[in-house]
Amino acid sequence: MAKITASVYTSHVPAIGAALDLGKSHEPYWQKVFAGYEFSKQWLKDHRPDVIFLVYNDHATAFSLEIIPTFAIGTAAEFAVADEGWGPRPVPKVIGHPVLASHIAQSVIQDDFDLTIVNKMDVDHGLTVPLSLMCGPVQAWPCPVIPFAVNVVQYPVPSGRRCFQLGQAIRRAVESYDEPLTVQIWGTGGMSHQLQGPRAGLINKEWDKRFLDRLIEDPTGLAQVPHIEYVREAGSEGIELVMWLIARGAMADVAGGRPPTVAHRFYHVPASNTAVGHLILENC
């Protein structure tokens, strides 16, 4: 049986990718951001999973306004790094895990979550920046990655409650896979930020920190927060945080197991227009 060993949560700021790719990571502004991931890079080396199930959002890159899947699972053997307007990031292509991804699609869809199956998809900064933060510069990503794209760009977006329930279904799917794989689930995007309109630049440190507290201790209560609170308190792009509830819903305690251990917690403002939050939770 496969099992979920840990969940990782991190923001995905595109300027972080640019700082890395343009050799600016030693600059004081970026050092303060990357310092929060020093522990995490070693942790990932020490806890390398067989597969990463990476929940992220596409930013009108692979999907346009023509087709907007709410939840899309990448079942391909590999995924190219997207060109977001200035050429693809110089990072490795993503190797998928079509067999596990297909099993999860089968299980989760039969568990009443209507996923879109995607056999070809370029992956944007939403997926590659979290990998860069956790792995540093590498020739190849440390393991296969199943991309799982959530629509948080075009309304209507899924609720935190639905995302939390979906995480539970993903856990059931992983645990019904007939091979002893270790799987990490990553929830990415956020924290508070707004890129547009009169409130552009909004950051809400208190709300973000409370979100991290509740994600650890009270995920069921946190899952009840309506989308309008994310938008009001964490800004229009703060809604990306509902994706963290998918990863949290897949942890053991939600299914009656023991509470996770907090391996690492980090919060920093600013990085570009965004508050950066990062958490690693291990199943006991």
CA distances 45 to 92, 230, 251, Å, are 17, 34, 21
We find the least distance from the C-beta atom of residue 154 to ligand DHB, in angstroms, to be 14
* Contacts of 132 by beta carbon, 8 Å cutoff, 6+ apart: 16, 17, 20, 89, 91
Mapping DSSP to helix (H, G, I), strand (E, B) and coil, where does residue 55 land? strand
Give yes or no for a contact between 263 and 278, defined as CB atoms under 8 angstroms apart: no
Tell me how far apart the terminal alpha carbons of the chain are, to the nearest angstrom.
17
Q: Which is nearer to ligand DHB, 125 or 248 (CB)?
A: 125
Is 125 known to be catalytic? yes
We find the least distance from the C-beta atom of residue 13 to ligand DHB, in angstroms, to be 5
Is 268 known to be catalytic? no
Residue with tokens 């792995």, as numbered in its chain = 135
167's tokens? 């995480």
Could you give the count of Cα atoms lying within 13 Å of 256 in the half-sphere of its Cβ? 1
Q: Report how far residue 76's alpha carbon sits from residue 73's, in angstroms, rounded to the nearest whole number.
A: 9
Q: Which is nearer to ligand DHB, 133 or 252 (CB)?
A: 133
- The site for ligand DHB (CB under 6 A) is made up of 12-15, 59, 193, 195, 237, 272-274
Among 59, 97, 103, 125, the active-site one is: 125
We find the least distance from the C-beta atom of residue 240 to ligand DHB, in angstroms, to be 6
Among 59, 103, 193, 227, the active-site one is: 193
228's tokens? 């309008």
* Contacts of 139 by beta carbon, 8 Å cutoff, 6+ apart: 92
We find the least distance from the C-beta atom of residue 78 to ligand DHB, in angstroms, to be 23
We find the least distance from the C-beta atom of residue 60 to ligand DHB, in angstroms, to be 10
Q: Which is nearer to ligand DHB, 100 or 152 (CB)?
A: 152
Give yes or no for a contact between 262 and 216, defined as CB atoms under 8 angstroms apart: yes
Query: Which one-letter amino acid corresponds to residue 219?
Result: P
Q: Which is nearer to ligand DHB, 166 or 203 (CB)?
A: 203
Q: Which is nearer to ligand DHB, 58 or 282 (CB)?
A: 58
Residues catalogued as catalytic: 125, 193
